[in-house]
Amino acid sequence: METTLIILKPDAVQRGLMGRVISRFEDKGLQIVGMKMMTISKELAAKHYESHHGKPFYNGLVSFMTSSPVLVMAIRGMGAITVSRKMMGATFGSKAEPGTIRGDFGVSSSFNLIHGSDSPEAAERELGLFFAKGEVQEFKRAGEVWVYDMSGGKPE
Ligand code: IDP
Ligand code: MG
C-alpha cells in the first residue's frame, strides 16, 4: 500500500470544487487517511517546490500556493501515487484529458487545481512536510474486502 500527498490548491478551494474532487478519490476506492485545511507559508511552499527553484514559473507558483487556503490530504491505496497522478491528468488544464480532474475542471496552466506526489520518495518527503507524526490515520475500512480481491491473501 502506498500513501500519497494530494493538495487541493487555492483555486480548487475558492471555486468550491473540494467536495467533487474528494468524491472522485473516494469513488475510486482510495482511502483518505489524512485531511486538513491550511494556508501554506512561503517557507513551506519553498521546501515543497524546491526542485522547481529557479524555473521561470517558480515565483508565481509560490505566490499562488500561499495566496489562499488549500486542502491537504494523505491518500492511501495500491499504487496510490500513480493512480492519483492519472486521475489528476496532465499539468496544464488545456492539455489534460477529459475525465481527469484537471481536464474536467480547468483550462489554466498555473491554476491547475491539484498537486499529487510523483514518486514514492516525493510522497514520503511531502507527507513529512505537511503532516506531523500521528496526523495520518491508520484504520481498516469496513468495506475494504470489496475494494480489493483478497482471495489470494494479499490485495489484488
Ligand atoms: P505537476 O503539478 O503536474 O507535477 P510540475 O511540472 O511539477 O507539474 O509543476 C508544478 C506546478 O507548477 C504545476 O502544477 C503548475 O501549477 C506550475 N507550473 C508548471 N509548469 C508551469 C508553466 O510552464 N507555467 C505556469 N505554471 C507552471
Ligand atoms: Mg510535480
Cell triple for residue 51?
526542485
Residue with the smallest CA separation from ligand 1 atom 1 is 91
* 146 assigned to some structural domain: no
**What whole-number percentage of the chain has pLDDT above 70?**
100
Is position 47 within any domain? yes
Look at residue 138 and tell me if it is in a domain. no
Whichever domain contains 62, its CATH number is 3.30.70.141
Give me the number of domains the chain comprises: 1
CA gap 50, 119 in Å, rounded: 15
- The answer as to whether 154 is a domain residue is no
Closest-CA residue to 115 (of 39, 35, 9, 19): 9
Instruction: Report residue 133: phi and psi, to 5°.
Output: -55, 130
Does 25 fall in a domain?
Answer: yes
Q: What are phi and psi of 88, to 5 degrees?
A: -70, -40
Q: What is the mean pLDDT of the chain?
A: 97
pTM (two decimals): 0.98
Counting ligands in written order, the one closest to the CA of 88 is 1
CA of 74 to the centre of ligand 1 (A): 20
pLDDT of 19-49, one tens digit each? 999 999 999 999 999 999 999 999 999 999 9
Q: Find the domain containing 90 and state its range.
A: 2-132
Residue 32 lies in a domain: yes
Residue 66, domain member (yes or no) = yes
Question: For residue range 41-87, what is the model confidence (pLDDT) as tens digits?
Answer: 999 999 999 999 999 999 999 999 999 999 999 999 999 999 999 99
Which ligand 1 atom minimizes the distance to the CA of 111?
A: 16
97 pLDDT band (50/70/90 cuts)? very high
Residue 94 in any domain: the answer is: yes
